[in-house]
């Protein structure tokens, strides 16, 4: 199993914050890892642990631009304009910034779309999972979503993810959650899950 680079608690906390933002019909972008960016505003708030202050994190996420978080969970910047290297056809700048930031294989990007109230998880320039904030009790699925990421390795999903926004091309294993990937990956995951591995 690949070594976990991002703490499980950080992933859970960010997904919960993202779902709260999505439910209100607002957008946000979280980048865990390193990416090129410029600051849109002065950084008046010093770095802090994201999981220690989710309310502050949520407020900062609503500022235009991305929230940049290191792998230890420290908020390094907010209101960050991510350098777009890969445009996301038929989508806005937030999706393009997320796609570009996810090119770094060590990064994980969590995007909140205000248009459709979905939370998208990106890795290796692909959307690998999508959570529907309007699905009843989707928040209860977050620990299982993080376990799925851990079980199969985010790198594995990212390598073969579909990178499409069409839920019919993914599989829903949990209420409100769509996982994008190939039949091989899905079969392998389900086999391991039910075999007790």
Which residue's entry shows tokens 């960050």?
80
Q: Is the pTM higher than 0.85?
A: no
DSSP strand pairing (66-69 vs 28-32): parallel
Sequential pLDDT tens for the chain (197 residues): 344 478 899 999 999 999 999 999 999 999 999 999 999 999 999 999 999 999 999 999 999 999 999 999 999 999 999 999 988 888 889 999 999 999 998 999 999 999 999 999 998 888 888 999 998 888 988 888 887 766 655 444 443 333 333 344 455 556 677 776 543 345 445 555 545 54
Fill in the DSSP letter of residue 86: S
- The Cβ-side half-sphere exposure at 15, using a 13 Å CA radius, reads 27
Residues 6+ apart with CB under 8 A from 51: 9, 10, 13, 73
Fold topology of 8-195: YojJ-like (1 (3.40.1700)
The answer to whether residues 170 and 132 touch, using CB atoms and an 8 Å cutoff, is: no
The secondary element (H helix, E strand) that includes residue 23 is: helix 8-23
pLDDT for 158? 40
């Amino acid at each position: 199993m690949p070594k976990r680079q991002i703490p499980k608690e950080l992933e859970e906390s960010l997904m919960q914050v993202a779902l709260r933002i999505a439910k209100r019909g607002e957008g946000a972008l979280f980048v865990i890892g390193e990416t090129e960016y410029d600051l849109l505003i002065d950084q008046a708030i010093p770095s802090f642990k994201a999981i220690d202050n989710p309310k502050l994190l949520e407020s900062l996420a609503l500022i235009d631009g991305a929230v940049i978080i290191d792998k230890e969970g420290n908020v390094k910047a907010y209101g960050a304009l991510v350098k777009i290297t890969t445009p996301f056809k038929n989508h806005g700048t937030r999706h393009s910034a997320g796609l570009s930031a996810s090119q770094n294989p060590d990064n994980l990007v969590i995007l909140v779309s205000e248009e459709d109230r979905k939370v998208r998880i990106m890795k290796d320039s692909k959307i690998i999972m999508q959570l529907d904030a309007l699905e009843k009790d989707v928040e209860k699925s977050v620990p299982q979503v993080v376990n799925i990421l851990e079980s199969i390795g985010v790198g594995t999903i990212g390598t073969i993810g579909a990178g499409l926004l069409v839920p019919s091309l993914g599989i829903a294993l949990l209420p409100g959650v769509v996982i994008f990937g190939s039949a091989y990956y899905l079969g392998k995951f389900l086999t391991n899950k039910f075999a007790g591995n």
